[in-house]
Structure 1
Amino acid sequence: MPDLQETLKITRQVGWGAAKLLRSYYQGTAENYNLEVEYKQNEPITVADKAVSEYILSQLQTAFGHEDFGYISEETYQSQQAKNSAKLVWIIDPLDGTRDFINKTGEYAIHIALVQDTRPILAVVAIPEAEKLYYATKGGGTFVETVNGSQPLKIAGDKPIEDLTLVVSRSHRNERLEYLLKSLPCQNQKAIGSVGCKVTAIVEQEADIYISLSGKSAPKDWDMAAPELILTEAGGKFTHFDGKYLEYNTGDINQWGGLLASSSQDHEILCQKAEQALIEFAASQRN
């Protein structure tokens, strides 16, 4: 096992480099700039996704090699790929929030996580337009880094449940999720783009809860692995509705079911209410 702090130092450098490259595409200054949009399984993909994926993979593989490390990136992953057998696996999303990137909301992110035995032990989430990089190691806390240096982040998590603010997607909405959200005791909502931006908003105490609910498709390992550790090391919680931890590199990259991320002391109550809402919705559809 390599030194985790030295690994983090290198990963932060890679995160900043990736953020600079991605931002050059966002601002239209990249060499050979062309933001033509393709679609893969109904999800948009641009040349920026591919370029940043290649950059991150080449940087990490040069630094760490293949002997002890495996690599799973959204842009290179093959759907038939089985569980990566390496002891340590990098899980990478070079552009989380492609729709927001295309629509110029600024709410896009880069995720880099290192997973050991299905659980993240190191994470970087870069928010290029905010010029911020969030990082965490297992047991080492969460920090935010800017041009002015780094500072630790810790969530208070003591708001009354009725005063909590849900961070929601602009695009991934359906009747089942709407029913669930309306069933919760907190009704304040704030629309934010990528998962990385949603979770860092919770860490920065600008919001309190994020809910993901799979339907015909589900979020993937690379959507959740890095944001999860950033949140939990800051004192938040990120679980399935039944309280189980998320697992990564299991052979199925999909994170099925209901997931709830929060800064709240009432996390378990919120999970129970979300589960109950799904039961009620299913019953209403049968009647």
Structure 2
Amino acid sequence: MNFEEICTIARRVGWGAANILIEQSRSFEVEKSGDSPVTSADIAANTYILEKLQSVFDPQTFAYLSEETYQSQPAEVRLNRPWVWIIDPLDGTKDFINRTGEYAMHIALAYQGRPVVAIVACPAFGKLYSATLEGGTWVETANGDRTRIQVSNKSDFTDLTVVASRSHRDVRFNQLMEQFPVKQQRQIGSVGCKIAAIVEQQADLYLALSGKSAAKDWDFAAPELILTEAGGQFTYFDQSPVQYNRADVNQWGGILASNGKIHAQLCDAAIALLGEIDKR
């Protein structure tokens, strides 16, 4: 089975999970509140995704790393496997609860720590994005329309728009944004929806800083491939590739995702500014 065939199956699973999230959005229970809330929608979509994928992709060969179930499995089960499905059944649970529509569903297949197939669904907007390694990024709607999609060609700091979170911001991030050379800013919930905005040419870059907590593998694995196959770049601030399926699922440090045209300059600016901020 090649990546395109795997992606076709994952797209069907993605649409099924998206429909569950739409149905659940009308009436759901908050199972766990706080900074990392969990709803009945997270659990229902997770159960569906795992059941559908595992019926095709043998758990003896493919490991599964999902936000809702990773704590209940020994890390050794996935660390010894080259193939791992990385799943976030509901990215942006706070936005789901607040009914902003800015939530997403992520499914990625990683091989030796790097994504090779990715699905990001934005159910409230009726769109599903898919990508395969060296196969480009595609966007489709529920009626079956499917088109290839590319990031913008903007390469001037003054023309770029950064997409940022409403809720995941601390003092250090706000200080960075105040001094960052890109001044135009758009606030959107969920990483999946942020990357969708970049590939739809509604924004051009996204920065993530870990503070007391960090984004996890399932936040980034699928969105990364969606962006890079659309012509963008997604790296740590030092421009090294993001690694997945390590013992620690936290992605510590700084991540920069962009349309790729001046990615190095943006990374350098972030490093220099944070160096000054951290001296204070």
Which TM-score applies when normalising by structure 2? 0.96
- Structure 1 residue runs of 4 or more that deviate by more than 4 Å after TM superposition: none
Task: Look up the SS of the partner of 1:92 in the other structure.
Answer: strand
Partner of 1:233: 229
Asked if the contact 1:82–1:252 (Cα under 8 Å) also holds between the matched residues in 2, the reply is: no
Residue 221 in 1 paired to residue 214 in 2? no
Question: Of 256, 267, 270, which residue of structure 1 is paired with 2:266?
Answer: 270
Structure 1 match to 2:146: 150
Report what 1:31 is aligned to. Answer: none
Question: Residue in 1 aligned with 2:8?
Answer: 9
Q: Of the candidates 51, 54, 77, which is equivalent to residue 61 of structure 1?
A: 54
Matched residue type, 2:229: E
With 77-86 and 44-53 compared, the bigger mean Cα shift is at: 77-86
Instruction: State the Cα deviation string for residues 238-271 of structure 1 (Å, max 9, x = none).
Output: 0000000100001110111000000141111110
CA distance in 1 between partners of 2:68 and 2:75 (Å) = 16
- CA-to-aligned-CA distance 1:198-256 (integer Å, 9 cap, x gap): 00100000001100000111000000000000000000000000000100001110111
Calculate the aligned-residue CA RMSD, in Å: 1.3
1:81–1:251 Cα contact (<8 Å) kept: no
Are 2:231 and 2:260, in contact at CA under 8 Å, matched by a contact in 1? no
Which residue identity lines up with residue 35 of structure 1 in the other structure?
E
CA distance in 1, matches of 2:64, 2:244: 12
Are 1:120 and 1:229, in contact at CA under 8 Å, matched by a contact in 2? yes
> What is the identity, as a one-letter code, of the residue corresponding to 1:74?
E
Contact kept in structure 2, 1:165 and 1:188, CA below 8 Å: yes
**CA distance in 2 between partners of 1:270 and 1:170 (Å):** 21
1:47 counterpart = 2:40: yes
Which SS does the other structure have where 2:64 is aligned? strand
In structure 2, the residue corresponding to 1:78 is in which secondary structure? helix
* 1:58 partner amino acid: E
User: In the aligned structure 1, how far is the partner of 2:73 from the partner of 2:62?
Assistant: 20
Q: Which runs of 5+ in 2 are unaligned?
A: none
Letter in 2 for 1:96: D
Describe the SS at the equivalent of 2:42. Answer: helix
Q: Which moved more, 1:105-114 or 1:79-88?
A: 79-88
- Pick which of 177-186 and 13-22 moved more: 177-186
Equivalent residue for 1:131, pick from 118, 126, 132: 126
Q: Residues of 2 paired with 1:36 and 1:282: CA distance?
A: 37
Match of 1:38 in 2: 32
Structure 2 distance, partners of 1:108, 1:142, is 20
Cα pair distance change 1:219/1:157, threshold 3 Å: same
Relative to 1, partners in 2 of residues 1:79 and 1:218: Cα closer, same or farther, differing over 3 Å? farther
Q: How many residues align?
A: 277
Q: Distance in 2 between matches of 1:182 and 1:79?
A: 41
Give distance in 1, aligned partners of 2:31 and 2:73: 24
The whole-number CA distance in structure 2 between the counterparts of 1:219 and 1:232 is 19
**Does the aligned pair in 2 maintain the 1:183–1:273 contact within 8 Å?**
no
Report if the CA contact (8 A) 2:3-2:133 is conserved. no
Correspondence 1:212 to 2:208: yes
Q: Do the aligned partners of 2:120 and 2:223 also contact (CA within 8 Å) in 1?
A: yes
Equivalent residue number for residue 27 of structure 1: 26
Shift of 1:148: 4.0
Change in Cα spacing, 1:9 to 1:148, as seen in structure 2 (3 Å) is closer
Give the partner amino acid of 1:4: F
Matched, 1:201 2:201: no
User: Structure 2: how far apart are the matches of 1:114 and 1:36?
Assistant: 29
Residue of structure 1 equivalent to 2:86? 91
Distance 2:133 2:26 in 1: 35
* Correspondence 1:98-117 to 2 at 5 A: 98-117=93-112
* Paired AA for residue 184 in structure 2: N
The verdict on how the C-alpha distance between 1:218 and 1:79 changes in structure 2, with shifts beyond 3 A counting, is farther
Quick one: percent identity of the two aligned structures? 52
AA aligned to 1:8 is C
Go from structure 1 to structure 2 and tell me whether the alpha carbon gap of 1:191 and 1:156 turns closer, same or farther (over 3 Å shift).
closer
Answer whether contact 2:139 2:149 (CA < 8 A) is retained.
yes
1:130 maps to a residue whose letter is: F
TM-score, with length taken from structure 1:
0.93
